[in-house]
């Protein structure tokens, strides 16, 4: 996928309809680490909220290669796997205005609602050291993609 490419509308809808996934990052010993995450379509990729004090954040800083598996809620009606590199917006690489806005976008997308008190939300996410992550995939595969292609044929 091109860096600024958009996901097909059917893929974005699949992510929107199935907001849980499994993120795979790589430990220092190259063994995979799997984490359950909330996902949403964002900027031509998969958006995820993580925290700076978690192993997955440290893994992704060291090696941004990752994948996310998103399955239909019943696990048997199809899944998609997104492979690529994590783009992280965190306290070490963003300005005082950029990070709160990225965190707010994550909240709005993953909960599908707006914060009642953004100042309180900003305080909590700063305390939690939340990170905005986007995985713009180089490769997408899975049986749900095959079904989407068949439906469009």
The CATH number given to whatever domain includes residue 15 is 2.30.110.10
Within-domain flag for 74: yes
Residue 87 has pLDDT above 50, yes or no: yes
Q: How far is the CA of 67 from the CAs of 77, 87, 103, 112, in angstroms?
A: 20, 12, 21, 24
Does 2 reside within a domain?
no
Give the HSE-up count for residue 129: Cα atoms under 13 Å, Cβ half-sphere.
Answer: 9
Angle at 55 between CA 53 and CA 87, to 5 degrees: 85
Q: What is the C-alpha separation between 62 and 27, in angstroms, rounded?
A: 9
- The pLDDT of residue 114 is above 80: no
Tell me, yes or no, whether 54 lies in a domain: yes
Please indicate, yes or no, if residue 134 is contained in any of the structural domains.
yes
Tell whether 153 is covered by a domain: no
pLDDT at 22 (0 to 100):
97
Residue 45 lies in a domain: yes
**Domains identified in the chain, total number:** 1
pLDDT at residue 51, rounded to an integer: 92
Greatest mean pLDDT range, 55-69, 71-85, 132-146: 55-69
**Model pLDDT, residue 133:** 94
Residue 130 has pLDDT above 50, yes or no: yes
Q: Is residue 85 part of a domain?
A: yes
Domain-embedded: residue 44 = yes
Instruction: Write down the pTM of the prediction.
Output: 0.87
Domain region containing 48: 9-146
């Amino acid at each position: 996928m091109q860096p600024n490419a958009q996901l097909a509308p059917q893929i974005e809808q699949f992510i929107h309809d199935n907001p849980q996934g499994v993120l795979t990052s790589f430990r220092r010993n190259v063994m995979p680490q799997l984490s359950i995450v909330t996902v949403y379509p964002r900027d031509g990729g998969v958006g995820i909220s993580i925290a700076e004090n978690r192993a997955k954040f440290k893994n992704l800083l060291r090696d941004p290669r990752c994948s996310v598996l998103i399955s239909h809620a019943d696990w048997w009606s199809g899944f998609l796997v997104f492979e690529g590199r994590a783009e992280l917006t965190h306290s070490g690489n963003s300005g005082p205005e950029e990070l709160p806005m990225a965190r707010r976008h994550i909240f709005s997308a993953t909960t599908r609602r707006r914060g009642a008190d953004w100042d309180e939300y900003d305080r909590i996410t700063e305390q939690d050291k939340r990170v905005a992550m986007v995985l713009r995939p180089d490769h997408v595969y899975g049986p749900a993609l095959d079904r989407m292609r068949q439906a469009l044929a």
